[in-house]
Amino acid sequence: MSATLSGATVVTSLDPVRVVQGDVRVEDGRITAVGGASVGGTSAGTDGRRDCSGCLVVPGNVCTHTHLYSALARGMPYALAPPTSFVEILQRVWWRLDRALDDEGVRASALVGGMEALLSGTTTLVDHHASPNAIDGSLDVIEESLRTLGVRSVLCYETSDRDGPASARAGVLENRRFLGRVRNESLSLARGMVGAHASFTLSDETLAACTEAAGEFGVGLHVHAAEDAADERDAVARCGHRVAARLARAGALHEHTLLAHGVHLDDEEIGLVRAARSSIAHNARSNMNNSIGRARLRALGERVSLGTDGIGSDMFEESRSAYFRLREDDGGTGGDWPLQRLAEGAHLAGRAFGEPLLGALQPGAPADLVVLDYAAPTPVHDGSFAGHWVFGLSARVVRDVMVAGEWVVIDRRLTHVDQQQLAAEAMGQAARLWRRLDEIGPHEFEPEGGR
Ligand SMILES: [Zn+2]
């Protein structure tokens, strides 16, 4: 398939910001030309031409930490005593929801979550999945759902000992099985990592099994790390080391590792993480929502990208919230900061796909892009784009979305599926899921060192 996006203002790079005027030419999944300069292999003609005059074309957003399995949790009833700590939030909310999921619930969650991602201009999801009563094959269900929609993804299963050793073994096996599939079938839109919940629900044996699997497949662990102080207390009580040191000693801290949150990492741990060149997914809204504290973003450095932790997939909103939260403490933070974090997210996805140009709109790059119908009230250029991003743009102006050269959203509608039907089916699945959830009590797992 080939396409020409004509007459747009094109943001070819977020870090550093580069803005040019002209056409974007796409052939066989890749960008072949940007700007007025040249056209790729074949003549553009009128076929596949999409008028983008008056629009901004930007790289597709990447969410580097999400939980599609929570897509049907929005507004769900809650009748237990209100949680008073992060661990209680897990015990009383998320570790009940994940146990209520079956394959149908996983499918509905992935479809509706993936739909919302595309409609908000997010083209890649780095997902962390848990469904302890439906582990085997769950990553296939998600992969198939996202493939149907046309979402790019990096998937893993959240291995944990909280539901017992058999469940932990099944988690490791599911990661291995899916990584084997990725290797053998060369899936075009999906890659894998080895998922692990968090240090405080992982035995030494399970952590070792995860690390071994990651090594065999040449990928990293995707794991919550130091999200709450309870994770650090547990690691110290369990093995006498803090979380990052425990991961490092297990061989789990390296350049392919993705740590979610990292809020409570101390100076020494930040030193370990940075020396290992591991990535951090910062989830500003989730951190605020769970009252867990503030990540030390300046200290954490360059390999910080942005995730939603399951609060939708709207990276306009996430990046803006992260920016304002950081500005509250550090007024010297520039508007380029959220753009750098989003660019880093694309680099992370690019490493997973072996596509170093992912996230740039330049010849040779995968054609993952978003057309914004944005009536800019002031000029848009290299120096002003960050201001437009943090003060003007939002998912509301997403008009069209392309992933790997295919239009997946046109005029705010999904192209591959009937989104009204999909939403109606999700509604039915949500009712079913909520009924099942009602019968599941708080999880009894407790970290060492207290809640
Ligand atoms: Zn998370």
Residue 89: per-residue pLDDT: 96
b/e map of 56-93 (b: 16 or more CB within 10 Å)? bbbbbbbbbbbbbbbbbbeebeeeeeebebbbbbbbbb
Structural contact between residues 416 and 150, judged by C-beta atoms closer than 8 angstroms: yes
b/e map of 1-35 (b: 16 or more CB within 10 Å)? ebbbbbbbbbbbbbbebbbbebbbbbbebbbbbbe
**Cα(164) to centroid(ligand 1), Å:** 20
List residues bridging with 243 in a β-sheet. Answer: none
213: amino acid identity, one letter? A
- Quote the pTM value: 0.97
**Cα(331) to centroid(ligand 1), Å:** 28
**Cα(127) to centroid(ligand 1), Å:** 9
Report d(CA 381, CA 120) in Å as an integer: 23
**Residue 11 DSSP SS3:** strand
**Cα(130) to centroid(ligand 1), Å:** 10
**Cα(121) to centroid(ligand 1), Å:** 21
Structural contact between residues 349 and 126, judged by C-beta atoms closer than 8 angstroms: yes
**Cα(80) to centroid(ligand 1), Å:** 22
**Cα(19) to centroid(ligand 1), Å:** 34
DSSP letter assigned to residue 41: S
**Cα(215) to centroid(ligand 1), Å:** 23
**Cα(102) to centroid(ligand 1), Å:** 20
Structural contact between residues 175 and 220, judged by C-beta atoms closer than 8 angstroms: no
Residue 23: per-residue pLDDT: 96
- Helices (H) and strands (E) in the chain — how many of each? 15, 18
Give whole-number Cα distances, 86 to 150, 159, 239, in Å: 34, 19, 22
**Cα(438) to centroid(ligand 1), Å:** 23
**Cα(312) to centroid(ligand 1), Å:** 12
Residue 318: per-residue pLDDT: 98
**Cα(105) to centroid(ligand 1), Å:** 19
**Cα(228) to centroid(ligand 1), Å:** 11
Residue 46: per-residue pLDDT: 53
**Cα(432) to centroid(ligand 1), Å:** 24
Structural contact between residues 268 and 242, judged by C-beta atoms closer than 8 angstroms: yes
Sorted by sequence, the CB contacts under 8 Å of residue 80 that are 6+ apart come out as 92, 442
pLDDT in tens, 156-206: 999 999 999 999 999 999 999 999 999 999 899 999 999 999 999 999 999
Residue 41: per-residue pLDDT: 41
Residue 29: per-residue pLDDT: 97
pLDDT in tens, 7-50: 999 999 999 999 999 999 999 999 999 987 444 444 444 569 99
Structure tokens at 37: 């300069």
| Residue that is written with structure tokens 């943090």 in the block | 390
Residue 42: per-residue pLDDT: 42
> pLDDT below 50 — which residues of the chain?
37-45
